[in-house]
């Protein structure tokens, strides 16, 4: 009956499996392979609630590899944990087919390897009220497990965030305290300026971290606001370059880096003032300054020596190879370096939170930058250069 019911599925099958041993028995019985074939060959949807161990995980990963990318969207296994184990259905297997029929199989001895030796009574029904009640049980557990996973993921992310923020704050705070003590003691008058420089740089690090933390909070709560004005993008870029150059440490590897601005490409002189080096955008000046400064800081961090250049141009192809609809209405800012390039492991999650393999940094800067640019109606993307280094680009609408 169990096998025939699974074979008869036309649209969707919902399955609650009470234990990992039950899952393995149903794998040996052929139920799980039948579900895989149904997804891959007939296009049915499968939702499974089951505890997961290494054996179950290996089986499901093998299924996902065999059925292909498109079919993966129709095969869903949700790992159940404490909420499910404490429920009243942890002694039965419940199968619901096409929301028309149900099969409930009692589990008597979970230690048995053979399916028939492990089960007791089985109840099959095509009664609408009965089937509906089992659908309600499944959906309740499915949603409960989804909520539990989200809470657990949020808790993990919060712990990671606190640990990273605490680590990043501790280093500059210790430097500030240490050098401030030296200045107070006035032990080395000829070194006071260098001490103040170190204090200033570390204070800037703390300022940036606290700003990123606040911005992430605003983004997550959807309260990030923009104060849009019309301004000359060139002026902001030049100002950002001057700021990063002022932070380069003399007599270090940083003084082997050249930061340059490339003139605007793609515009002829027009009546609206967008000509030569002047490009006017309608945006939040402070927020765009924040994005440009962040991209320049990142480029310098990962460029031991060489060139970091920032250019402004008309619309160009983005990372998906698609052109903007109207080239005259979009400006693209590109920050290119000759550094280490983007780590392949980081690339797929480059603009997500905590995506960093750097010796320092929280990995929040690009996430915040992406949110700021998208709030302006623009896009942000990145690529590794053909020779060396990487290029980060973002687009903004031109001022009307």
Mean pLDDT (whole number) for 2-27 = 89
What is the distance between the alpha carbons of residues 179 and 183, in angstroms, rounded to a whole number?
A: 6
Q: What is the mean pLDDT of the chain?
A: 80
> In this predicted structure, what is the pLDDT of residue 63?
86
- How is domain 155-220 classified at the CATH fold level? Helix Hairpins (1.10.287)
Mean pLDDT, residues 153-166:
68
**CB distance 233 to 333 below 8 Å:** yes
What is the architecture, at CATH level 2, of domain 2-126? 2-Layer Sandwich (3.30)
In the prediction, which pLDDT does 319 show? 44
Q: Provide the pLDDT for residue 378.
A: 93
Q: Provide the pLDDT for residue 76.
A: 84
Q: Which of 9-18, 233-242, 318-327 has the least mean pLDDT?
A: 318-327
User: Is residue 185 over pLDDT 70?
Assistant: no
Q: pLDDT tier at 189 (50, 70, 90 boundaries)?
A: low
- Of 107, 141, 11, 147, nearest in space to 133 by CA: 141
For the cut 90, the answer to whether the pLDDT of residue 384 exceeds it is: yes
**Per-residue pLDDT tens digits for 80-115:** 654 444 444 468 889 898 999 999 988 888 888 888
- Each domain of the chain, given as residue ranges in start order, spans 2-126, 155-220, 228-397
Of the candidate CATH numbers 3.30.70.260, 3.30.565.10, 3.90.1150.10, 2.70.70.10, the domain formed by 228-397 belongs to 3.30.565.10
Write down the pLDDT at residue 393: 95
What is the per-residue pLDDT for 9?
87
Which carries the bigger pLDDT value, residue 193 or residue 228? 228
Range scoring the smallest mean pLDDT among 25-29, 183-187, 373-377, 392-396: 183-187
The tokens for 254 are 């940083």
């Amino acid at each position: 009956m169990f096998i025939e019911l699974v074979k008869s599925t036309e649209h969707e099958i919902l399955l609650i499996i009470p234990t990992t041993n039950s899952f393995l028995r149903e794998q040996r019985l052929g139920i799980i392979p039948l579900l895989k074939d149904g997804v891959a060959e007939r296009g049915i949807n499968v939702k499974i609630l089951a505890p997961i161990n290494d054996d179950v995980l290996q089986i499901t990963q093998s299924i996902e590899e065999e059925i292909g990318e498109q079919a993966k969207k129709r095969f869903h296994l949700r790992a159940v944990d404490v909420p499910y184990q404490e429920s009243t259905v942890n002694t039965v297997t419940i199968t619901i087919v096409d929301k028309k029929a149900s099969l409930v199989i009692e589990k008597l001895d979970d230690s048995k390897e053979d399916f028939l030796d492990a089960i007791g009574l089985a109840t099959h029904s095509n009664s609408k009220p009965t089937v509906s009640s089992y659908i309600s049980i499944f959906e309740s557990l499915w949603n409960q497990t989804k909520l539990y996973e989200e809470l657990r993921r949020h808790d993990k992310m919060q712990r990671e965030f606190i640990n990273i923020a605490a680590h990043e704050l501790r280093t500059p705070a210790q430097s500030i305290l240490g050098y401030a003590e030296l200045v107070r003691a006035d032990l080395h008058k000829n070194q006071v300026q260098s001490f103040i420089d170190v204090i200033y740089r570390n204070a800037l690090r703390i300022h940036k971290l606290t700003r990123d933390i606040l911005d992430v909070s605003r983004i997550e709560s959807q309260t990030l606001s923009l104060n849009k004005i019309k301004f000359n993008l060139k002026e902001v870029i030049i100002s950002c370059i001057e700021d990063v150059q002022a932070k380069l440490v003399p007599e270090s590897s940083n003084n082997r880096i050249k930061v340059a601005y490339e003139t605007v490409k793609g515009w002829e002189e027009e009546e609206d003032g967008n000509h030569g080096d002047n490009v006017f955008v309608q945006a939040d000046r402070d927020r765009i300054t924040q994005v440009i400064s962040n991209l320049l800081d990142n480029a310098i961090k990962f460029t031991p020596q060489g060139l970091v250049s920032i250019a402004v141009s008309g619309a160009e192809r983005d990372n998906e190879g698609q052109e903007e609809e109207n080239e005259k209405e979009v400006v693209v800012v590109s920050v290119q370096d000759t550094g280490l390039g983007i780590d392949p492991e980081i690339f797929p999650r480059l603009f997500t939170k905590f995506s960093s393999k750097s010796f320092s940094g929280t990995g929040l800067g690009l996430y915040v930058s992406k949110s700021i640019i998208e709030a302006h109606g623009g896009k942000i993307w990145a690529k590794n250069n053909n020779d060396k280094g990487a290029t980060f680009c973002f687009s903004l609408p031109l001022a009307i």
